[in-house]
Amino acid sequence: MSTVALVNPTDLVGKELRETLERRAGWSAEVRLLTTREDEVGTLTELGGAAALVAGFDADALDGVDLAFFCGTAAELAAGLAELPPEVTAVVLAPPVVAGVNTAAAQRAANGSGRILLSPHPAVILLAHLLHPLAACGLDEAVATVVQPASVQGDPGLEELFEQTRQIVAMTQRRPTPIFGAQLAFNLLPIPAPANALAATLAAVLPKPAGGRPLSLQLLQGGIFHSLAASVFLRLAGAPGLKPVRKALAEHREIELAKKPAHLGPIDAAASEAVLVGAIQEDAAVAGGYWLWAVMDNLTRGGALNAIEIAEAVL
């Protein structure tokens, strides 16, 4: 691989991509920083410990590029992908792909007519890593509540949460909340949009039989800056017991069982490359019922790492 492009590299996921590529063994390619945002053209940022210039995005800027990572809003992605040359593979941060779960789908798409591979919402990535290894335990049903952080809304979400927190602590006048619509600091909010689309994406990602099992998903907006948290109820055929469940999760490549499960929270996942699993408990009221608690950084494992591992598997 000779040249890689990062499109819109200055937002939260773009920054994480730059830093992860620097640390990742085997990525010695030239990296071009491009943007679809007019106000970012010509700005300076950092790449590999040195100053780097962000250039404007167009088809000519992708000349000689093998792989392009796309970050940004839906409108920005649409504008960039419309100019994608046929020889460039794009990983967007479409069939959805979770690295280590349905990577074969990415390989088939890249070898066929598909050149655009989607790294889905971090909640889908988290649940895919949790449910995929449990298919062998007879997964019959899953019900999940996922709390997402403010950083899912990018820098504007972080800034709004920080400003709300500052206003509350300083007891100053409250300002409008255009991102979240209400006070998020020290609070938990419902998300109006239904989670059906995310549940459908998860079903498409998971290989059968896990992908064919019913999943009920609720998504909440938490007053936290980084990392997802999930409370998941599972119903497993035959009530295998806690030991096989723990073993199945521990053997999954991206999962790490927490050393102190009773105190595991989203803050523990910050900058971690693993999905951290905490308490796993049997439900005494439901035969074969189990509860588990897990956290994951939405920018590392749920963003940059998943996108990079898709590219490694495909190219």
Which CATH number is 270's domain given?
3.30.360.10
Same domain, 141 and 182: yes
The answer to whether 301 and 254 have CB atoms below 8 angstroms apart is yes
> What span, in angstroms and rounded, lies between the C-alpha atoms of 262 and 111?
45
Which residues are CB-contacts of 311 (< 8 A; sequence separation ≥ 6)?
67, 69, 89, 91
Res 109: pLDDT? 44
Residue 22 structure tokens = 């620097």
Same domain, 46 and 136: no
Same domain, 46 and 61: yes
Res 110: pLDDT? 45
pTM: 0.88
Contacts 24+ apart (CB under 8 A), 184-193: 184/150, 184/160, 184/221, 184/222, 184/223, 185/161, 185/223, 186/223, 187/223, 188/147, 188/220, 188/221, 188/222, 188/223, 189/220, 189/221, 190/220, 190/221, 191/148, 191/219, 191/220, 191/221, 193/219
Same domain, 141 and 286: yes
**Does residue 60 sit in helix, strand or coil?**
helix
- Residue 73 neighbours by CB distance under 10 Å: 13
The answer to whether 165 and 206 have CB atoms below 8 angstroms apart is no
Res 213: pLDDT? 64
**Sites in the chain below the pLDDT cut of 70:** 1, 94-114, 208-214
Same domain, 152 and 257: yes
Phi, psi values for residue 194, rounded to 5°:
-65, 150
Same domain, 240 and 105: no
**Does residue 289 sit in helix, strand or coil?**
strand
Tell me how many domains the chain contains: 2
Same domain, 136 and 282: yes
Same domain, 185 and 285: yes
Q: What does DSSP say about strands 50-53 and 55-56: parallel, antiparallel, or unpaired?
A: unpaired
Q: Indicate which CATH number applies to the domain containing 37.
A: 3.40.50.720
Identify the CA nearest to 303 among candidates 31, 2, 19: 19
Same domain, 13 and 93: yes
Same domain, 222 and 262: yes
Rg (CA), the chain: 20
Res 97: pLDDT? 55
> What span, in angstroms and rounded, lies between the C-alpha atoms of 82 and 59?
9
Res 294: pLDDT? 98
Res 209: pLDDT? 59
Identify the CA nearest to 14 among candidates 39, 30, 33: 33
- The boundaries of the domain holding residue 65 are 3-120+304-314
Same domain, 238 and 135: yes
Res 59: pLDDT? 83
Same domain, 107 and 145: no
Identify the CA nearest to 42 among candidates 136, 126, 34, 251: 34
Res 98: pLDDT? 59
